[in-house]
Structure 1
């Protein structure tokens, strides 16, 4: 039954949401002509107007919204406020007929929930994120839930209590614009005794209205049915236009307005306007009904006139089912709702955490809780930020405050409020405290005043509401400290001299002096910070960037947050902040900043290790270095920044000859002219340099001599800045020419030619210039070259081609990668078998002209699960490959090559394409393992043949399928020595 009840309410709310959207978007959809909010004073009314303006795009454009304050800031009662509304409407329209008016009585001080006083309880948070992503308030829920009502009434005025949220199906409203109607539904008598209750007559009209009567009195009056339920007063009423005219007649003259709308009479909507409508009411009893203010002669005279104008009308009882009302009464009730009670409304989408970046069990609304902060049980954060070093006790409510390293005691409310003069007041009181009473943290306030040695009240009632306890400070953080000091003083600790310094505010005066713009701005600020903190936590939690909701451009507050965060972020967080923002904002500039961060951080670490070699000199007239190519077998991509910087890399690769040659050639030649000449035959470019500036200018990916320049800088031949090229060359013993060439290797081969050419360049320079080196020196200088050139690639290629044989290469995490290279020895039989079964196939096409590296790094930086898993698994494959080869198990190696191919496609789907799959498919029965060379997408493929299969058979099959195309078996040989 409970689930069916929830389903009905959920469907009713969905219907209301649909009608709400129609009212906003459709010109002719029935909507309210006026929505009027009553306010306690001009300041609160202005706050209401600001909140409405803030929601302008979410409200029906043809509905007029108004906030009507109590007269002269004097409390005139809910009945007096209703008359103020009628006066306002009459000034606007002169005629109430054909008007649909929604009035929300929201002018209370919210004394029992002081954190909502400044903007009124009407704009207090509701634990619900609306379907359009906004954090909801009571006002938002009212607008949604009442959006279907205009279509159910022809004209008239609907009145609601601003602290009671009604959930019901508006289709059940049946009102014919006669007299009044009270909206009610059944509720347990235990609940009803704390609210108003209607007793229904036989004709469907209300027989009597009972306000906060005991269960015994309710039963005696016949208000309780056999199920123990009553017709509860929800505070929702409908007045006909005729009734509106009659009520307006009381104040149609200035004399009448003065008589009935004032702080002495304080007419009540519920006690004074409803009572005459009940069938069993009598004038004599009416005089005795408990007033909203005090009994007085003026009230008696007013009631006599109210009786005359309203007694002709009756009030129909509209019983709705299923229905529910939620009373936002006290701080204690709100804390209970947020810390468990909200589960009862899960079917409506309510949750203990709304638009908040909070983990654990803490409830929150537009709030951030640092994962490193300490917080107790059953706490509720409201538009607040709890930073990493804060300690918050149990059963606390934090509202509109930032907590940094403070210790918040158990069971307190801490509420920040900016004043119109720019100062801050933070009010602290107990969750159990009732500000209408004379107690604070359970202690008598008169005794507290005596302990503090000062009078807390300037006359009037001695209540917490009016006690001048809270110091006014320049900043919210100072105000938090002052509030905590007050708590310490009350319990017998604290610094009395600090508390006495400067002006103090009461709950009441702080509310009256509040700055509504600042409250709205703080709410907006926290909404912005929540989104940024969610982003940071998503990065830490490895939530894939692509799964996060898209957003608009960053606000000023979010930009400031980002700037501060980046200054203290480490390498990993910094690059991901940019990448994640690029994804959620769909901003390519931020994505590029991610790659720029990787390049700059690694380059910076590289440059720090470089030094100008003033001792180098040319020792040979000419010198040539030839290097082989390499095939990647295991661990490819794990050698690429930022993965290798964060996790280290593991790679297994081997050197190869192509067409019986070492195709990567670098030749250096001394010349007498004091200049540097670069000559690249395969690229058909030639350049001569006599000034050092051009040689020091690097980082342009389109520079045809980027490699040669980077080599001279990395090897210390040319300094990074300054100096004279002529002087350098004189010291070296002459100028020189650098000839580079990669022979008979198609572009985009996937065999590591670019990086191996870098290695050849470094090796040739070292030997030409008489610089001693180790293998490790070669690797580190080539790494430096790669970063200077801004290529962003990995380190496996150059290692694979520098020396013959099979290499197992690893690195530890770190910006400055230190390579450990092990030359793997395998049994002679396994070598022979590999020579026979290893086969290289040319696809006939270059790799596609697309940014493979960018896509792969992006998927990894964005924590795409397939990519992260595959990169980790790929390293394990490299380890297992070495193990299988060292024990001579070539079949096991072949299976791992196949598995690596599947993982490579998870890292980057672009590593394969239709042609590659067709090639593999055409020779499926001839091979045991397959993998692309390099990044894939073209170039060469490598396969392990089945035992007994000849390379000639593969070539014949390829010729048969692909005929005269370039797809063919390559002349390749593993270079062991």
Structure 2
């Protein structure tokens, strides 16, 4: 147990292990009605992403990795402007009614939002964050299985309705034996986790009635006065969201933990929430009346802020947390506020819980390689369902190898993650790297803090390969509107203009693939297309090393794609075939090892 491990941490570990065991026993078997979800719905950004998700779901079902007797659906957002996870929620309700008529209102529905392009965790961009591999399980778990396992107790204590979650967070929690998490009240019911105030600034925060909870025990049912969305610390204090807790019972979603006997401030932050079918039908009626949405609606900020007796419509005009302000946004928010005003927001306070977000490269690396608490409570493995020879030069205990083949002689640096890859004997991987879907069969030193993710693509019927390389610190969401401003973009910490010069790429209107003036690393046509996976990796690493050494490596002879275009041309079948080859090789070796015993 880690130094910060305590009775609470041990309780979370035990509760997590029990849920994982329950789910493992259900994989490939038919779930009994009422004991599991009637519908598991995953959202996708567009038809291409939806197709990729459906292919992966079909593969999982074929391998008996998911419970049977469940309606698994992938619903793509409608074409046109982005509608946010709130808009996606409304669209899914419409899709369920179209598919099942009135029958859908009797279903237990798990709705998982996974419609983003994962710009902050690009190794998950091609196949989706909900299919992110985790360093445990045999065969390995992905985020989808973990979600189903962690929520496995909910359906049997839930009235028909919708439970809404996102694809890039993990909630671990423990309750007393006599306590049950029950979703049976009208309106909305949300889970709440004790967190540092700094965490509250990037999450939703509940302003709880202090007379309705004590902050002790495993869980408490509290009443919520109103909900704050990504508030600053001053707002939390003014609204009465800040509570005092003994540090011995304090849990922090930031990864910090202090067991000294002092009073510390905390707030209660959001994660997943439930709405009953009457509320869902109200929202569906609103969606039908509104017609086409032309703005991004947030399921947390725009639904939950309208709830509770203390809610006011002030937030409807506050666009400080909005990426892009559309003219329709304020009007839609005001209509939602009028619709939902007076609806109850019930809160289940999980006093012994931890919330982990893994939506960025830094969070992903930290939680899966350095976070001793998550490692302990979830049972993470340094080598998960992989072939790893003890003759390998070094494998630091903080490294994480997931469904990969490592040949004798390779070196994997501390804090690095290797997933779905083949690593040859003369490969040295630096610290804090992410290597995904790659085949490296040549001598190379991969520098620290490098992200390398390879894709199979199909252009005009031909299969090709392209590998993206970045620093794990690069900001792929940053963009400018004018070509004259691209000097502010950084690749590996170096001005993109300098990099283009090293690669022999001219600045022109053809440099970026975006048609809506989003000029950034995501849309820059800088990655070479190659005929083999190995050559793709070799070429992109030469490109990266040219920047590291400030030496020229000309890309004039290559066709070049942006990450945006790579995802458009992605060959899902090819990538899944490569993963299956690795899976089969590992599985056969496992069988051989068993027969030799």
TM-score if structure 1 supplies the norm length?
Answer: 0.52
Measure, in 2, the Cα distance between the counterparts of 1:376 and 1:294.
40
Deviation at 1:169, TM superposition (A): 4.6
Partner of 1:382: 419
1:479 equivalenced with 2:526 (yes/no): no
Task: Determine helix, strand or coil for the equivalent of 1:165.
Answer: strand
Further displaced range: 10-19 or 101-110? 10-19
Partner of 2:215: none
Equivalent position to 1:511, from 567, 575, 589: 567
Deviation at 1:205, TM superposition (A): 3.0
Measure, in 2, the Cα distance between the counterparts of 1:285 and 1:375.
48
Deviation at 1:73, TM superposition (A): 6.2
Equivalent position to 1:195, from 176, 189, 203: 203
1:465 equivalenced with 2:509 (yes/no): no
Contact 1:179–1:240 under 8 Å retained in 2? yes
Whichever structure has more strand as a proportion of its residues is 2
Contact 2:188–2:346 under 8 Å retained in 1? yes
Deviation at 1:495, TM superposition (A): 4.9
Partner of 2:491: 440
Question: Structure 2, unaligned stretches of length 5 or more?
Answer: 213-221, 246-263, 479-488
Q: 1:157 to 1:440 in 2, by over 3 A?
A: same
Alignment of 1:5-84 (within 5 A): 5-20=8-23, 21-22=25-26, 24-28=29-33, 30-56=35-61, 57-72=64-79, 74-84=81-91
Task: Determine helix, strand or coil for the equivalent of 2:72.
Answer: strand
Task: Determine helix, strand or coil for the equivalent of 1:11.
Answer: helix
Contact 2:319–2:325 under 8 Å retained in 1? no
Partner of 2:580: 524
Measure, in 1, the Cα distance between the counterparts of 2:424 and 2:229.
46
Partner of 2:316: 286
Deviation at 1:324, TM superposition (A): 1.6
Measure, in 2, the Cα distance between the counterparts of 1:80 and 1:115.
26
1:427 equivalenced with 2:468 (yes/no): yes
Q: 1:137 to 1:229 in 2, by over 3 A?
A: farther
Contact 1:267–1:292 under 8 Å retained in 2? no
Alignment of 1:807-826 (within 5 A): none
Deviation at 1:431, TM superposition (A): 1.6
Partner of 1:557: none
Partner of 2:148: 143
Partner of 1:110: 118
Q: 1:800-827, CA deviations, whole angstroms, 9 ceiling, x for partnerless residues?
A: xxxxxxxxxxxxxxxxxxxxxxxxxxxx
Measure, in 2, the Cα distance between the counterparts of 1:375 and 1:148.
39
Deviation at 1:280, TM superposition (A): 2.1
Further displaced range: 195-204 or 450-459? 450-459
Partner of 1:183: 191
1:398 equivalenced with 2:435 (yes/no): yes
1:240 equivalenced with 2:270 (yes/no): no
Q: 1:196 to 1:444 in 2, by over 3 A?
A: farther
Measure, in 2, the Cα distance between the counterparts of 1:205 and 1:53.
42
Contact 1:343–1:351 under 8 Å retained in 2? no
Equivalent position to 1:212, from 223, 230, 239: 230
Partner of 2:547: 490
Deviation at 1:86, TM superposition (A): 0.5
Partner of 2:406: 369
1:88 equivalenced with 2:95 (yes/no): yes
Partner of 1:164: 169
Partner of 1:308: 338
1:252 equivalenced with 2:296 (yes/no): no
Task: Determine helix, strand or coil for the equivalent of 2:126.
Answer: coil
Measure, in 2, the Cα distance between the counterparts of 1:515 and 1:166.
32
Alignment of 1:364-763 (within 5 A): 364-407=401-444, 408-421=446-459, 422-437=463-478, 438-449=489-500, 452-455=504-507, 456-458=511-513, 460-491=517-548, 493=550, 495-497=552-554, 499-531=555-587, 535=589, 551=591, 581=592, 584=594
Task: Determine helix, strand or coil for the equivalent of 1:235.
Answer: strand
Measure, in 1, the Cα distance between the counterparts of 2:423 and 2:566.
23
Contact 1:377–1:395 under 8 Å retained in 2? yes
Deviation at 1:285, TM superposition (A): 3.3
Contact 1:97–1:155 under 8 Å retained in 2? yes
Partner of 1:916: none
Contact 2:86–2:300 under 8 Å retained in 1? yes
Measure, in 1, the Cα distance between the counterparts of 2:490 and 2:291.
39
Deviation at 1:510, TM superposition (A): 1.2
Higher alpha-carbon Rg: 1
Deviation at 1:190, TM superposition (A): 3.4
Task: Determine helix, strand or coil for the equivalent of 1:205.
Answer: strand
Q: 1:344 to 1:162 in 2, by over 3 A?
A: closer
Measure, in 2, the Cα distance between the counterparts of 1:84 and 1:342.
39
Measure, in 2, the Cα distance between the counterparts of 1:38 and 1:29.
23
Deviation at 1:271, TM superposition (A): 1.7
Deviation at 1:471, TM superposition (A): 0.8
Partner of 1:775: none
Measure, in 1, the Cα distance between the counterparts of 2:453 and 2:386.
18
Measure, in 1, the Cα distance between the counterparts of 2:173 and 2:500.
48
Deviation at 1:468, TM superposition (A): 1.3
Q: 1:376 to 1:127 in 2, by over 3 A?
A: closer
Deviation at 1:496, TM superposition (A): 4.0
Measure, in 1, the Cα distance between the counterparts of 2:385 and 2:120.
25
Task: Determine helix, strand or coil for the equivalent of 1:140.
Answer: helix
Further displaced range: 513-522 or 99-108? 513-522
Q: 1:26 to 1:109 in 2, by over 3 A?
A: closer
Measure, in 2, the Cα distance between the counterparts of 1:251 and 1:293.
22
Deviation at 1:385, TM superposition (A): 1.3
1:267 equivalenced with 2:297 (yes/no): yes
Measure, in 2, the Cα distance between the counterparts of 1:426 and 1:157.
39
Contact 1:276–1:307 under 8 Å retained in 2? yes
Measure, in 1, the Cα distance between the counterparts of 2:414 and 2:31.
46
Task: Determine helix, strand or coil for the equivalent of 1:71.
Answer: coil
Contact 1:12–1:168 under 8 Å retained in 2? yes
Deviation at 1:52, TM superposition (A): 1.3
Partner of 1:124: 132
Contact 1:198–1:230 under 8 Å retained in 2? no
Deviation at 1:413, TM superposition (A): 1.0
Deviation at 1:8, TM superposition (A): 1.7
Q: 1:352 to 1:194 in 2, by over 3 A?
A: farther
Measure, in 2, the Cα distance between the counterparts of 1:345 and 1:492.
36
Measure, in 2, the Cα distance between the counterparts of 1:99 and 1:146.
16
**Which stretches of structure 1, 4 residues or more, deviate above 6 A after TM superposition?**
none
Question: Structure 1, unaligned stretches of length 5 or more?
Answer: 536-548, 552-580, 587-861, 865-977
Task: Determine helix, strand or coil for the equivalent of 2:287.
Answer: coil
Measure, in 2, the Cα distance between the counterparts of 1:478 and 1:518.
16
Contact 1:448–1:490 under 8 Å retained in 2? yes
Task: Determine helix, strand or coil for the equivalent of 2:328.
Answer: helix
Measure, in 2, the Cα distance between the counterparts of 1:344 and 1:115.
21
Equivalent position to 1:3, from 1, 6, 23: 6
Measure, in 2, the Cα distance between the counterparts of 1:495 and 1:31.
58
Deviation at 1:483, TM superposition (A): 0.6
What is the RMSD computed on CA atoms of the aligned residues?
2.4
Whichever structure has more helix as a proportion of its residues is 1
Measure, in 2, the Cα distance between the counterparts of 1:384 and 1:229.
44
Q: 1:73 to 1:63 in 2, by over 3 A?
A: farther
